[in-house]
Homo-oligomer: A and B are copies of this chain.
Amino acid sequence: MSERVYATYWMETGGDPARTAEVIAGEQSSGTFVALATETAELKERSGARVERLDILDTAPTPSLPGGMVSDRYTRATLELSWPVENFGPSLPNLMSTIAGNLFELHQVSGLRLLDLKLPPSFTNAFAGPAFGISGTRKLAGVVQGPIIGTIIKPSIGLTPEETAQQVRELIAGDIDFIKDDELQADGARCPFEARVKAVMRVVNDAADRRGRKVMVAFNITGDLDEMCRRHDLVLAQGGTCVMVCLNSIGLVGVREIRRHTQLPIHGHRAGWGTLYRCPSLGWDYAPWQQLWRLAGVDHLHVNGLDNKFSESNDSVIAAARAVLSPLNEAAPMEAMPVFSSGQTGRQAAETYAAIGCADLIHTAGGGIFGHPAGVPAGVEALRAAWRAAMAGASLEDEATRSPALRSALGFWR
């Protein structure tokens, strides 16, 4: 007996929900629009997707998405389907075609969203997962406990390699743990990758020699495969400790190949994620999506941040971060490190800590650090102090009595 993969969807249909559930199951396995003599009962039993659960939620008078069947009411339901692993084998691309392929455009649905995914050991065991994960990242960044405090080089694009290196110099002087390229900064003519890495790593290595701790810089190697491998090798040769890729831009094959090649943690940026999640009646929740990238070998995964400047709710951010930190299954935990960003200051530390129950995360702040009236060192120290308070269960005001940097940060952190 083949083990099975289970996927849960939110679905909306103008038709009979049970019939629509069967159509989806058929479309994504052995069925098609017309009955076929060759789709025998035995074949269907063996290879068909199975409707495991269908829970009616509510109805709406109008469809969430256009193009579906016309009706006077649209029923919403939670639908769980399962497939035998042997339909696709332990293959991430073919899993994706199955659980998130041609089903979203079915005429029968006026809404379909993938909420959850349960993969059995016979699937997950075929993957090595993140090579570094939480403990490997902590070791390389020299941060034994508490969050890894980070920031992003800004402006996103337009700085020269020397200007970038100068910003890194200031950040290291401010005792930051982690710095990343913006996702728009890869290998443009104004800031070529090689020149940027060399200029930045000169600064990073000098400081590491002096200070005994090396700041982790996530260089954005996103590009074609040969480019990414070459860029990874340059970062490694220069003593760098992290590479970043834009997951949606390179795809599952790109990430798998980089994982095979890399000797450094992979920082996974989710640029483009908005197209997949922002319509509530379509696409993906983060929980199933991030599983594929962890299996592919990503060590760090962006989850936005509480009270962010984007459109994502705090509930969604927390669910995403918890998902990234949850074991895939008992056989393959493969936890990755969530990366919080966007409008972040020490004010989000306590709530973030309370929501995820640990500090195994990268917390990046821009204005929250650079905006400090006493400069970058005070900005970094204030963020650290806020986390000390959060982890000790103290209030920011309390901790501020012991940290002048935090005290003055509270004046500008909104």
Contacts of A255 in B (CB 8 A): 251
B residues less than 8 Å from A34 (CB atoms): 366-367, 371
Q: Are A2 and B272 in contact (CB under 8 A)?
A: no
Give Cα A156 to B30, complex, Å: 5
A394 at the interface (CB under 8 A from B): no
- The answer to whether A252 has its CB under 8 Å from any CB of chain B is yes
Cβ of A28 < 8 Å from any Cβ of B? yes
Contact A184 B104 (CB under 8 A): no
A91 in complex: contacting residue of B68, B96, B224, B282, CB < 8 Å:
B224
CB of A11, distance to nearest CB on chain B (Å): 13
Task: Enumerate chain B residues within 8 angstroms of A184, measured Cβ to Cβ.
Answer: 28-29, 87-88, 94, 97-98, 101
Contact assessment for B101 and A271 in the assembled complex, using a CB-CB cutoff below 8 Å: yes
In the complex, which range does the number of interface residues on chain A fall in? 35 or more
B-chain residues with CB within 8 Å of residue A156 when the two chains form the complex: 29-32
Q: A interface, by DSSP: helix, strand, loop or mixed?
A: loop
Q: With contacts A36-B154, A154-B36, A157-B87 known, is A310 near B105, CB below 8 A? A: yes
Which of A207-215, A242-250, A402-410 is the contact stretch? Answer: A242-250
The distance in angstroms between the C-alpha atoms of A222 and B276, with both chains bound, is: 22
A248 near B96 (CB under 8 angstroms)? yes
Determine the chain B residues whose CB is within 8 A of the CB of A273 once the complex forms.
105
Is A388 located at the chain interface by the 8 A CB criterion? no
A187 — which chain B residues lie within 8 A by C-beta?
Answer: 88-89, 91, 94
Within 8 A of B (CB), among A239-292: 246, 248-257, 269, 271-284
From B31, B86, B104, B155, give the contact of A278 (CB < 8 A).
B104
Known: A107-B310, A159-B43, A278-B67. Contact between A97 and B183, CB under 8 A?
yes
Asked if A186 and B271 sit within 8 Å, CB to CB, the answer is no
In this assembly, does A55 line the interface, its C-beta being within 8 Å of a C-beta of chain B?
no
On whether the beta carbons of A33 and B367 are closer than 8 Å, the reply is: yes
B96-A158 in contact (CB<8A): no
A44-52, A133-141, A379-387 - interface stretch: A44-52
Question: Interface of A with B (CB < 8 Å)?
Answer: 2, 28-34, 36, 38-39, 43-44, 46-48, 65-68, 86-89, 91-94, 96-98, 100-107, 109, 112, 154-159, 163, 167, 183-184, 186-190, 222-225, 227-228, 246, 248-257, 269, 271-284, 304, 309-313, 342-343, 366-367, 370-371
* Additional A-B contact list (15), CB under 8 Å, known A96-B272, A224-B256: A2-B189, A32-B155, A32-B156, A38-B163, A88-B188, A94-B184, A94-B186, A97-B183, A101-B246, A101-B249, A101-B272, A225-B257, A253-B253, A276-B276, A278-B282
